[in-house]
Amino acid sequence: MFSRGIIYILMATMSFAVMNMIAKDLSALPAMQIVFFRAFGTFIFVFPYMLYKRISILGNHPKLLSLRATVGLISLTTFFMTIQRIPLGSAIAIRYLGPIFGAIMAFYFLKEKINAARWISFAIAFAGVIVMKGFDTRIDNYSLVLILISAMTVGMVFVMLRYLGDKEHHLTIINYFMVFCIVASLFTISSWTWPEPRYYFDICSIGVFGLIGQVLMTQAFQTEEASVLAPFKYMELVYALILTYFVFGETHGPIAFLGMSLILTGMLLNVYIKKRELK
């Protein structure tokens, strides 16, 4: 029987997979317009709740919060740009390299140790990217650069969240991110297009699914050890592959699945090694 924490994270990854599928469905719109809908749909729920609960809006470290929000904005925007060009499953798989980039940055900036086994796990994951890029003609060089930027900035976000985690309320961190996304996206409003009626549900729900995912993910890590939950975070890829197959008819050949498997193997091996180190 699964623990509450595992159930929460399985539901959270499903919510994120649905949110990303919705973003994929909105691909006819400019990426920054999708960023706006994603952020505003969360902001309208988070901000009033923070006022009601008297949670700090500005926080204790506004400069770091602003930096985290800016980096998160870059990661989200480049991810949405990527999924307009390549299959969603491929984009999610390559973006999973984020924790590796985060570990490397923590190695250089926070002086955290990385043993030989973890370096090997990183190499396995990067080999998966090479396999996917080399054999999936749908992944062009520009898309690969975009998704690697998204993965690297996700890694930066992980490092900053680890620093801010016990210093700021999680809703303060989320709200900064949403506000920065809204403001930045409004600078591109001249390039926006009026969405077709069939997109109205997507527009109204993308931020809601994102918020549900964030809340459930937070509850998961509050009720279960991170080392137990970490492998289940990769269920998002499984959900995305199933959803996009039935909704968009996206398919992947054996080589693409091999590349995804190498990425997942490298990431899960990294989680296992980290868990062993903590014992």
Looking at per-residue pLDDT, the higher value among 168 and 33 belongs to 33
- The tens digit of pLDDT for each residue in 52-72 reads 999 999 999 999 999 999 999
Q: What confidence tier does 5 reach under pLDDT thresholds 50, 70, 90? A: confident
Q: What confidence tier does 278 reach under pLDDT thresholds 50, 70, 90? A: low
Residue 170 has pLDDT above 90, yes or no: no
For residues 22-47, average pLDDT: 96
Q: What confidence tier does 118 reach under pLDDT thresholds 50, 70, 90? A: confident
- The tens digit of pLDDT for each residue in 238-258 reads 999 999 999 999 999 999 999
Calculate what percentage of the chain has a pLDDT beyond 70. 97
Neighbour-count burial for 35-69, b at 16+ CB within 10 Å, e otherwise: bbbbbbbbbeebbeebeeeebeeebebeebbebbb
Query: Within a 10 A sphere around the Cβ of 199, how many other Cβ atoms?
Result: 17
**Beta strand extents in 91-230 (DSSP E only):** none
Closest residue by Cα to residue 139 from 64, 192, 87: 87
Q: What confidence tier does 1 reach under pLDDT thresholds 50, 70, 90? A: low
- The tens digit of pLDDT for each residue in 189-227 reads 999 999 999 999 999 999 999 999 988 887 887 677 766
State the pLDDT at residue 227. Answer: 64
Closest residue by Cα to residue 39 from 62, 66, 83, 72: 72
